[in-house]
Structure 1
């Protein structure tokens, strides 16, 4: 009897309970994964597919859509962040600055060594040839920012990655050291190591890389460790004698100290001596400090391309910290600013954000909420082009793992992905699609693992999602 009644009862359930429109993706729920998904058109609001759209789940790096949208609304696409060199000292007749030289960090998420070199050249053009004082890096806006994730806290002592870089308004090179590894003159000789930024490394280096014959493969492994004397880059492995130089990146233990060491090396390379070494500071320069050099970073619309395309955690969290009005902001303050922005979006609903990067595993939002954000940006003509440009098309996106599905999915979708593996597996996707007839739609899929489903691959999510979206695109 039950066998006869069950199909009838299933027919009475709302379509959303059965994963309407997501017939392939909904099978993940049967395997024990928590899913929130929604796809709908923007012209008339028609929902094409839905599974637990209001369920609060971890979005991982889809969180970066929030900081990107909030930054565009706050500052506009052409906004730039400025880094300055200032001093209260005077430059004497011999070109010696009589006083400390202060680098005032302006919170530029993409400040790099080339920008510091431009500051140094402008200083030389002012006639400065030496500094009778210290080089002081001021991170008064924010930094050092308290770590609130396991990876970032561990990064204070050692790091085997770049995604957990620590945060400062005066950070350079995305808070990471870069070393060039080149083969030695013949097999058996040590590899040659140099800094990507200052030629001579500004950190200690433990070179454990050997040069091997041309028919051998290059294999490199690196770790940054920190002791009483600062950071040391430990690089192990081998490099083929005929191979090109390889770049190795690892996050630094203190981004403000990294900036100070990098800028000091560039000053010395330009022939500007610094008598007092370097220091870092959490206080603002005096009001009467004079500007000696300044460099504007890239416009916000260009920053967002890297933040979203490469899912750059350092940039996303620096941008979110900049959104806080008061100095000495924490990531919790930045998350609260993003929450206030999101709660003003029509139809968004509840959320919890502790960071803009999504590294904080406590972040929670819903598919319905992310789609509300996507729709809001779509309806902002002056901001939408800069926002959507940061998303990837599967056919030519920089992340090759998204190149799945057929031509329809490849060519008709723009998306942002998010990935976490600990403490649970997270695979999240949000973005836009266009139907065969040219209608715009938004979609978000949040898939979270549980203790009983510890492993989740991208193919498990993207393959069924591509099939479901292709059906939706073709049907409208």
Structure 2
């Protein structure tokens, strides 16, 4: 090998060695490659278990609500409108049915609205006053100049006996002769004694008599009949008590079945001279009596009073006289207000209720309905849907909600005469119920208080649209028995 060749070989060897060293060093300086991680296969996650379903705890059941639902589902009540509410002794509403705040016809339960207001506006010492007036008094010779005036004060309880006592008072004072005439004055009340919303079929019957400024014997007359010998024959009309001399009778009354009772309706109007009588009386009951309203009570009172004076020797000259200032010669006072209200609530006397109603209006010189409504509003009752037409509940157009009717009674009980008001309400024999009922065709109502275990629960129950054969008073007992249990 030549020197040049050897040197070239060595050079190549050295370069190769150096290149190997450089490559090794470069390789060593590089960051190592990270290891490749294997991705595990996708596995579906398990859904968490559904939470256990927990039923919400129902609110405690209201036993009054359940009692009403059970009671009102009775087939006899189907289709009727029924409102019901119960309060505690402090006036907090314990339960009100769906119609508790819907205005319904109250019938005679409305008398509680009139009675409570009368205690507050007239006072327990109030008495109706009937007077006998004359110009100048009685002279030493026993005469009066001008007319003798029987002035009514709206007393619904004035009787023929009371008029007889007035005549006796005048005789004791020496009255022998009236130069003028005897006149009656009923102007204390409106000229129209019946409400325009009272039914034509009511006002001729005894319970529908008008409220006059001068009433007598509750403005009631009795008619009697003798039935025919067989069913269908005309009944014989025997007349009236008291006798109404100028009244013309249009009587068409037949003989009904045995035991059929009073099937007579009486049709008349205030001051009417013709009275229509229709219907039937039962076979076999001779002298069968029915009751109607006197068409002209002020005139009847005047005639009764005149007869009582004549019986005592008083004569009348009948001379016309100019109107003069008069002085009272005698007076009659009725029983105090609580006694009148006791009777009104017990027998549901429409005349007494309407007379009190009109008297409250007269004293305030304002419409009676306005006066009574404002009285209860001042006592804290906030009416909704009230339509106050009369004071007795005889008008079907009168409307009040069960809640408001109950609240009136609560306010009456809390008033200064509350204990006396409670006493006036008819009660059950065991003392657990003190309440006033109302009833007319298709309507039954009751408002008052359940008294149980020393607690008092005001309530009102009003049903409108009832069927004719529903025994409502018996049916409602189970509902009232649930109060306070």
- TM (norm. structure 2) is 0.73
Structure-2 change in CA distance of 1:238 and 1:415 (3 Å): closer
What SS is found at the alignment partner of 2:207? coil
Greater Cα offset, 134-143 or 49-58 = 49-58
Deviation at 1:172, TM superposition (A): 1.8
2:458 aligned to which of 442, 445, 470: 442
What SS is found at the alignment partner of 2:331? strand
Deviation at 1:274, TM superposition (A): 3.2
Deviation at 1:365, TM superposition (A): 1.2
Give the equivalent residue in structure 2 for 1:38.
Answer: 85
2:315 aligned to which of 262, 269, 273: 273
Counterpart-to-counterpart distance in 1, 2:473 and 2:368:
31
Give the equivalent residue in structure 2 for 1:162.
Answer: 206
Alignment of 1:97 with 2:97, yes or no, is: no
Structure-2 change in CA distance of 1:101 and 1:247 (3 Å): farther
1:230 aligned to which of 258, 261, 273: 273
Structure-2 change in CA distance of 1:150 and 1:323 (3 Å): closer
Deviation at 1:264, TM superposition (A): 2.4
Gapped regions of structure 2 (runs ≥ 5): 1-54, 228-235, 253-257
What SS is found at the alignment partner of 2:447? strand
Deviation at 1:342, TM superposition (A): 2.3
Counterpart-to-counterpart distance in 2, 1:468 and 1:166:
36
Asked whether the equivalents of residues 250 and 274 of structure 2 are also in contact (C-alpha less than 8 Å), the reply is no
What SS is found at the alignment partner of 2:343? helix
What SS is found at the alignment partner of 2:206? coil
Counterpart-to-counterpart distance in 2, 1:216 and 1:12:
55
CA RMSD of aligned residues (A): 4.1
What SS is found at the alignment partner of 2:156? coil
Asked whether the equivalents of residues 43 and 439 of structure 1 are also in contact (C-alpha less than 8 Å), the reply is no
Structure-2 change in CA distance of 1:194 and 1:68 (3 Å): same
Alignment of 1:432 with 2:443, yes or no, is: no
Structure-2 change in CA distance of 1:204 and 1:270 (3 Å): farther
Asked whether the equivalents of residues 167 and 255 of structure 1 are also in contact (C-alpha less than 8 Å), the reply is no
Structure-2 change in CA distance of 1:181 and 1:90 (3 Å): farther
Counterpart-to-counterpart distance in 2, 1:12 and 1:216:
55
Alignment of 1:342 with 2:376, yes or no, is: yes
Asked whether the equivalents of residues 88 and 458 of structure 2 are also in contact (C-alpha less than 8 Å), the reply is yes
2:73 aligned to which of 19, 27, 31: 27
Rg comparison, structure with higher value: 2
Alignment of 1:123 with 2:170, yes or no, is: yes
Deviation at 1:455, TM superposition (A): 2.3
Counterpart-to-counterpart distance in 2, 1:444 and 1:79:
29
Asked whether the equivalents of residues 378 and 384 of structure 1 are also in contact (C-alpha less than 8 Å), the reply is yes
Give the equivalent residue in structure 2 for 1:374.
Answer: 409
Give the equivalent residue in structure 2 for 1:321.
Answer: 358
Greater Cα offset, 34-43 or 224-233 = 224-233
How many residues align? The count is 416
Counterpart-to-counterpart distance in 2, 1:71 and 1:229:
31
What SS is found at the alignment partner of 1:440? strand
Counterpart-to-counterpart distance in 2, 1:229 and 1:55:
39
Asked whether the equivalents of residues 68 and 304 of structure 1 are also in contact (C-alpha less than 8 Å), the reply is yes
Counterpart-to-counterpart distance in 1, 2:137 and 2:335:
31
Greater Cα offset, 32-41 or 437-446 = 32-41
Structure-2 change in CA distance of 1:277 and 1:57 (3 Å): farther
Give the equivalent residue in structure 1 for 2:467.
Answer: 455
Structure-2 change in CA distance of 1:74 and 1:277 (3 Å): farther
Structure-2 change in CA distance of 1:232 and 1:193 (3 Å): same
Counterpart-to-counterpart distance in 1, 2:362 and 2:261:
48
Deviation at 1:68, TM superposition (A): 0.3
Give the equivalent residue in structure 2 for 1:402.
Answer: none
Alignment of 1:251 with 2:260, yes or no, is: no
Alignment of 1:55 with 2:90, yes or no, is: no
Structure-2 change in CA distance of 1:86 and 1:235 (3 Å): farther
Asked whether the equivalents of residues 142 and 321 of structure 1 are also in contact (C-alpha less than 8 Å), the reply is yes
Give the equivalent residue in structure 2 for 1:386.
Answer: 420
